A and B are shown apart, each in its own frame.
Chain A
Amino acid sequence: MALDVDKIRLDFPALTRQIHGQEIVYLDSAASSQKPESVLQAMDAAYRTSYANVHRGVYQTAEETTAAFEASRAKVARFINARSASEVVFVRNATEAINLVAYSWGRANLKQGDVVVLSLMEHHANIVPWHMLAEERGIELRWIGITDDFRLDLTNLDELLSGARLLAISAMSNVLGTINEIRPLADAAHDHDALILVDACQYVPHLATDVRAWDADFVAFSAHKMLGPSGIGGLWARAELLEGMPPFLGGGEMIRDVRQDGFTTNDLPWKFEAGTPAIVEAIGWGAAIDYLANLGMADVRDHEERLTRYALDALIQNFPTMTIYGPQDASIRGGAISFLFDGIHAHDISQVLDERAVCVRAGHHCAKPLMRHIGVPATSRASLYIYNTESEVDTLIEALAKAEDFFRI
């Protein structure tokens, strides 16, 4: 069933905000999404009615808070079709999830000369932790290129994976919108005895995610891009991998026992959750997942694919001098649309769009190797989500026409 976007919009208080006397047109959900009333209420209620630390007290509210916190973990696990909630580690965000893997698994398993394969469309979050490991350990980084139509260039994949220990790759590019088919990549990695880490930060909010169907080993994602609060995200990994990995941060919660001469670690997933976690954020994330699950991810995808097609068509028809950096076929991409007018800088475009209360991102999108590859310092990026409408895309087109007019040399 098609999403009832008018009804959905009523659930998002921030979408009624007026900027310069006009209703906000929020087209930056790939950076961070807005939050529905149910998430705000769940978090507010957690603080107001039943707040305590988790896994510590034996009193009523401590048990309630612990139950709500762990219920959210179970929701996350179900949402990505994990085998068990114990495979979902709460972290701050996808960036921390990838860093956790690099520190814990990477430092325990990778030595000088070992190979990690990345792609040119990775976010810095899936590049810099491996650069750091390369500096520290002397591991080698190899790069999957991209084709002229902004997809992964898999022609030499076998060569790149030869001798590799890990393939670390995005499921959807935050710049190009390109969806990368994970299952064949996982199969190829496993054929070479390499593991696969999936940066699913842009994917989980928009498409039904099944980590087992992917046959993935590690999957990283963030709550704030999928209607949840900032400050919490998830690392999913197969239980046997997590069992074998040394802890990441040390402290309370992650231990079973501490003596003067050492410690033993807690069970999964708490082994990786040192210190008081983002309790209320986890509860908010659970409410966000309820919201998305209630819409149905197939319908979410349908809406976004249709709106992405509408936006691509409108951009292409209206602006012959515009370059769109990403596939032009909406069926193989998400709703993050990067573009540039010949000779006009993305920041100037964004500044003029702000006049019309249109919020788009401008910059390198934390993907500088990709930007260097496509040969531009920055792009503008409009990104779409469940609450965006065709009429908002029309406003974007109008505002872009004004901006182009203003800066045309």
Chain B
Amino acid sequence: MSSNLEDLYREVILDHYRSPRNRGELPVPPATKTEGFNPLCGDEVAVYLEIDSATDTVRDIKIEGQGCSISQASTSMMSAAVKGKTVDGARQLIRAFKALMSIHEHKLEGEGDGSDLAADLEGVRLGDLEALQGVVKFPVRIKCATLAWNTLQQGLDEAGDSSI
């Protein structure tokens, strides 16, 4: 294995891929179900979200779907990271994760240093999620990593709409 490939497939990623967290469904309603697709590779993800409107918190999250190790691991890590978080906290995490993906993309393309995006990362603890930054060296795979996060974002928007 080259160092690039080891970077891509870190142990923590393979762990989430082999033992994905929060797999399953939630009854809809009260939960919402949002589906995401990656047209490039056919990966599919469904995010079930149950938002506690009193505390504006992600009370529960479940994931269904199929995909490569990167998309599965990213989905699993996302679910573990946002469960129990406030909706605002989850949104902040989405921004930070996408910044992590795109800062490196910008650096690779030689477009500035990404300092504008760095603001989104400030003060956010990504923890295990940082293991996914090896993905940015493989631009085709970035969409695998961001699929779950884009779907979560859409889910939070929809859950927000339905609670009004």
Chain A residues with CB under 8 Å of chain B are: 20, 345-348, 351-352, 355, 362-364, 368, 371, 377-378, 406-407, 409
A-B contacts, 29 of them at CB < 8 A, read A345-B68, A345-B69, A345-B72, A346-B41, A347-B41, A347-B68, A347-B141, A347-B144, A348-B69, A348-B70, A351-B5, A351-B141, A352-B5, A355-B1, A362-B41, A363-B40, A364-B41, A364-B42, A377-B41, A377-B42, A377-B43, A377-B44, A377-B67, A378-B41, A378-B42, A406-B1, A406-B9, A407-B69, A409-B18
A177 to chain B, nearest CB (A): 19
- Collect the chain A residues with CB atoms within 8 Å of residue B66's CB: 345, 377
Which residue of the partner chain A has the closest CB to B69? A348
B131 to chain A, nearest CB (A): 16
A20-B2, A355-B5, A406-B9 known; A348 vs B40 contact (CB < 8 Å): no
Are B2 and A371 in contact, CB atoms less than 8 angstroms apart? no
B51: Cβ under 8 A from any A Cβ: no
Give Cα A407–Cα B42 distance, bound, in whole angstroms. Answer: 20
With most chain B CB atoms within 10 A of its CB, the pick from A20, A346, A347, A406 is A347
Q: Knowing that A352-B5, A377-B66, A406-B9 touch, tell me 16 more A-B residue pairs with CB under 8 angstroms.
A: A20-B2, A345-B66, A345-B67, A345-B72, A346-B41, A348-B68, A348-B69, A363-B41, A363-B42, A364-B42, A371-B42, A377-B41, A377-B67, A378-B41, A378-B43, A409-B18
- Collect the chain A residues with CB atoms within 8 Å of residue B42's CB: 363-364, 368, 371, 377-378
- Collect the chain A residues with CB atoms within 8 Å of residue B72's CB: 345
Are B8 and A351 in contact, CB atoms less than 8 angstroms apart? yes
A347-B144, A377-B67, A407-B69 known; A355 vs B41 contact (CB < 8 Å): no
Give Cα A60–Cα B1 distance, bound, in whole angstroms. Answer: 59
A125 to chain B, nearest CB (A): 15
Interface residues in B111-164 by Cβ distance below 8 A to A read 138, 141, 144
A294 to chain B, nearest CB (A): 37
Give Cα A346–Cα B18 distance, bound, in whole angstroms. Answer: 16
* Size range of the chain B interface in the assembly: 20 to 34
A403 to chain B, nearest CB (A): 10
A136 to chain B, nearest CB (A): 23
Give Cα A136–Cα B55 distance, bound, in whole angstroms. Answer: 49
Which residue of the partner chain A has the closest CB to B1? A355
Give Cα A378–Cα B67 distance, bound, in whole angstroms. Answer: 9
Secondary structure type dominating chain B contacts = mixed
A345-B67, A345-B69, A409-B18 known; A351 vs B41 contact (CB < 8 Å): no
Which residue of the partner chain A has the closest CB to B39? A364
With most chain B CB atoms within 10 A of its CB, the pick from A368, A371, A407 is A407
- Collect the chain B residues with CB atoms within 8 Å of residue A362's CB: 41
Given A351, A377, A409, which contacts B138 in the complex, CB threshold below 8 Å? A351
A352 to chain B, nearest CB (A): 7
Give Cα A407–Cα B41 distance, bound, in whole angstroms. Answer: 18
Which residue of the partner chain B has the closest CB to A345? B68
- Collect the chain B residues with CB atoms within 8 Å of residue A345's CB: 66-69, 72
- Collect the chain A residues with CB atoms within 8 Å of residue B5's CB: 351-352, 355
- Collect the chain A residues with CB atoms within 8 Å of residue B41's CB: 346-347, 362-364, 377-378
B7 to chain A, nearest CB (A): 12
- Collect the chain B residues with CB atoms within 8 Å of residue A348's CB: 68-70
B67 to chain A, nearest CB (A): 6
Give Cα A368–Cα B43 distance, bound, in whole angstroms. Answer: 11
Give Cα A406–Cα B1 distance, bound, in whole angstroms. Answer: 10
- Collect the chain B residues with CB atoms within 8 Å of residue A363's CB: 40-42
Give Cα A81–Cα B69 distance, bound, in whole angstroms. Answer: 48
- Collect the chain B residues with CB atoms within 8 Å of residue A346's CB: 41, 68
Give Cα A407–Cα B68 distance, bound, in whole angstroms. Answer: 11
Give Cα A378–Cα B68 distance, bound, in whole angstroms. Answer: 9
Give Cα A345–Cα B69 distance, bound, in whole angstroms. Answer: 7
Which residue of the partner chain A has the closest CB to B18? A409
Which residue of the partner chain B has the closest CB to A368? B42
- Which 8 pairs between the two chains have the least Cβ-Cβ distance? A345-B68, A377-B42, A347-B68, A364-B42, A378-B42, A363-B41, A348-B69, A348-B68
- Binary interface encoding of chain B residues 1-45 relative to chain A, with 1 for a CB under 8 A from any of its CBs, else 0: 110010011000000001000000000000000000000111110
Which residue of the partner chain B has the closest CB to A365? B42
- Collect the chain A residues with CB atoms within 8 Å of residue B69's CB: 345, 348, 407
- Collect the chain B residues with CB atoms within 8 Å of residue A351's CB: 5, 8, 138, 141
Which residue of the partner chain A has the closest CB to B144? A347
- Collect the chain A residues with CB atoms within 8 Å of residue B9's CB: 406
Give Cα A363–Cα B67 distance, bound, in whole angstroms. Answer: 10
B19 to chain A, nearest CB (A): 9
Which residue of the partner chain B has the closest CB to A379? B42
- Collect the chain B residues with CB atoms within 8 Å of residue A378's CB: 41-43
Give Cα A406–Cα B10 distance, bound, in whole angstroms. Answer: 12
With most chain A CB atoms within 10 A of its CB, the pick from B8, B42, B69 is B42
A402 to chain B, nearest CB (A): 9
Give Cα A209–Cα B8 distance, bound, in whole angstroms. Answer: 45
A405 to chain B, nearest CB (A): 11
Give Cα A377–Cα B44 distance, bound, in whole angstroms. Answer: 8
With most chain A CB atoms within 10 A of its CB, the pick from B41, B72, B138, B144 is B41
